[in-house]
Amino acid sequence: MEIIESARPVYAILVSLLAVVLISFSGKSPNLREMWTMLAALLKFGLVVSMLPTILAGKVIEYHVTRVLPGLDIAFRVDSLGMVLALTASFLWIITSVYAIGYMRSMDEHAQTRFFMCFAIALSSAMGVAFSANVFTLFVFYEIITVTTFALVAHEETPEAIKGARRYLAYLLGTSIFFFLPAMFLTYNYAGTLDFAGQGILAGKASYTIISIIFVLYIAGIAKAGMMPFHSWLPAAMVAPTPVSALLHAVAVVKVGVFTVIRILLFVFGVDLLSKIGLGTYLAYFASFTIITASIMALRQDNLKLRLAYSTISQLSYIILAVALLTPSGITSSMMHITIHAFGKITLFFVAGAIYVTTHKKNVSELNGIGRQMPFTMAAFTIGSFSMIAVPPFGGFISKWYLIMGTFEAKLIPILIVIVVSTLLNAAYFLPIVYAAFFKQPESGEVHGIKEAPALMVAPILITAAGVLVLFFASPLLLNLVKIAVASALGGIY
């Protein structure tokens, strides 16, 4: 594999940090401030895209920043897996920024400068996670995300928001310090390095018992992936303003979580080692439990954002389940679902926010007939839900298709049943919303005629909804990128 030395990943990270400084100085003039956000978002996306051809050509970009201690380096390495997250995150940041500007202004929110600053830092760190060359660098950025998004979750500063934010911080920080950090420490102790490598770094370095302990510590430590029992920070974080929820769910937090799981499983443990010990199968069943339980919990939620939150928990475990199968199609599915779920879920959250801004309704039971008032928004919601259920021709179908192939490859037929049941449950908690929105009569006294959210909010919704369709029809684009990552994880077999 050809390695190219370039500082471009560092620039991609720094560009939004620079924006933070500019944003902090432009608090007095909102338009200038928002211009910096947009400029940084576009520039960041441009930088990420500029690295794409190199990666597609099968090369990797590396950059070593500094050595903190022997074996602990701050270093970046752009490969195809990192590219999947980076592309998704940087593209959706542009869209979310537009949406956030619309939302924050419509709601006349306070402390908008702090809001956009934290937003930018969170995105920088998400890039940092995507491009990390070793566990240490990844850990550092992982923690920065926790702290900055904490400020976003607590944004409203109401007692309720602060309570939710505290739980958010306690779960994410607690698990990472108590499990992730010792796992990293043990990895360093046994493997002697923390650098990610295609076939893992732990094989042959420790007994199976120790490797299993490290494995459990990692899985418990990466609470951002939303696996039960460390999932309840996610519903708690729903007190945040909707753009934050969208960002949290689509990009910066949960996707970083599952990305970290994939990264650790494939590039620290390695596929061979995991299948030899059989840890993948355990994880697959564990994730299945989360998938089903979270779906059932989603059914019971009346608050739309909460329902979406539980749906996210369940969908994240799809990604973990898929990678835990340790087969080519399974891994493909997990990586593709990072992007596909991001587009679908961000659409759904955007819609929830649009509904709230326009009608101040939060609950599913109040949405009767809202499709007549907000046809574009609800059409986008329908697209997002169908993608979650995995109906063709929406993006979700592609990743589920590969997931099913993966279960056959891994010969885990019980998992197939889990997938079928959870698909039914997905339909059960999304379709009633769509049905109520378009086919039920609105309650009396409601305004008739079309009254959509501000254009700055509707446009992003339509773009991400369109993205869900594009991901189906143009799936080979994403597939090519993912295939390179799968090949490097499987030692070029795929």
Partner 1 sequence: MIKHLPALLIVIPLLVAIITPLIGRINRALSWYTATITTFISFVISLSLLKTVLEQGRISYWMSGWEPPWGIEYAIDYLNIFVLIIISFMAFVGAIYSKKNIDIEIDEEKKPFFYSVYLLFVTGIMGMTVTGDIFNIYVFLEITSLSSYALIALGKKRQALLAGFNYLIMGSIGATFFLLGIGYLYLMTGTLNIADLAVRLPEFYHTKAIFTAFTFLAVGLLMKLAVFPLHFWMPNAYAFAPSTISAVMAATGTKVAAYVLIRVMFTVFSLEFYAQAPFNIQYILLVLAVAAILAGSIMALAQTDIKKMLAYSSVGQIGYILLGITLMNTNGMIGSLIHLLNHALMKGTLFLVVGAVVYRTGLTSIENFRGLGKKMPFTMAAFTIAALSMTGVPLTVGFVSKWYLSVASIEIGMWWLVPIILLSSLLTAIYFWRIIDNVWFKPALGEEGLEHGHDNHRKPKSNDAPASMLIPTFTVAMLCLVFGVFAYGPVSLAEKAAMILLK
Task: Count H helices and E strands in the chain, helices first.
Answer: 21, 3
DSSP 74: E
Looking up tokens 């590396």, which residue turns up? 62
| First CA to last CA distance, the chain | 15
Q: Rank residues 93 and 136 by Cβ distance to partner 1 and give the closer one.
A: 136
Binding mask 151-170 for partner 1 (x = CB under 8 A): ---x--xx---x--------
Q: Rank residues 185 and 282 by Cβ distance to partner 1 and give the closer one.
A: 185
Stretch that binds partner 1, among 16-24, 49-57, 67-75, 211-219 (CB under 8 A): 67-75
The CB-of-17 to partner 1 minimum distance in angstroms stands at: 14
State which of residues 136, 196, 349, 430 lies at the interface with partner 1 (CB under 8 A).
Answer: 136
Q: How far apart are CA 4 and CA 208, in angstroms?
A: 36
Residue 72 makes contact with partner 1 by CB under 8 A: yes
Burial class (CB in 10 A: 0-12, 13-18, 19+), 225: buried
Q: What is the DSSP string of 399-465?
A: HHHHHHHHHHHHT-HHHHHHHHHHHHHHHHHHHHHHHHHHHSPPPTT---S--PPPHHHHHHHHHHH
Q: Rank residues 39 and 357 by Cβ distance to partner 1 and give the closer one.
A: 357
The CB-of-185 to partner 1 minimum distance in angstroms stands at: 6
Q: How far apart are CA 58 and CA 484, in angstroms?
A: 7
Cβ(187)–Cβ(214) under 8 Å?
yes
Residue 192 makes contact with partner 1 by CB under 8 A: no
The full length of the chain comes to 494
Stretch that binds partner 1, among 32-40, 63-71, 235-243, 418-426 (CB under 8 A): 63-71
The CB-of-44 to partner 1 minimum distance in angstroms stands at: 22
β strands within 50-126, DSSP E? 60-69, 72-78
Residue 14 makes contact with partner 1 by CB under 8 A: no
The CB-of-489 to partner 1 minimum distance in angstroms stands at: 26
Stretch that binds partner 1, among 134-142, 265-273, 474-482, 486-494 (CB under 8 A): 134-142
Strand partners, 190: none
The CB-of-206 to partner 1 minimum distance in angstroms stands at: 12
Residue 181 makes contact with partner 1 by CB under 8 A: yes
The CB-of-236 to partner 1 minimum distance in angstroms stands at: 16
Residue 276 makes contact with partner 1 by CB under 8 A: no
Residue 109 makes contact with partner 1 by CB under 8 A: yes
215-257-309 Cα angle (round to 5): 125
State which of residues 30, 182, 375, 454 lies at the interface with partner 1 (CB under 8 A).
Answer: 182
Residue 285 makes contact with partner 1 by CB under 8 A: no
DSSP 492: S
Residues that bind partner 1 (CB under 8 A): 66-70, 72, 74, 108-111, 136, 139-140, 143, 154, 157-158, 162, 173-174, 177-178, 181-182, 185, 189
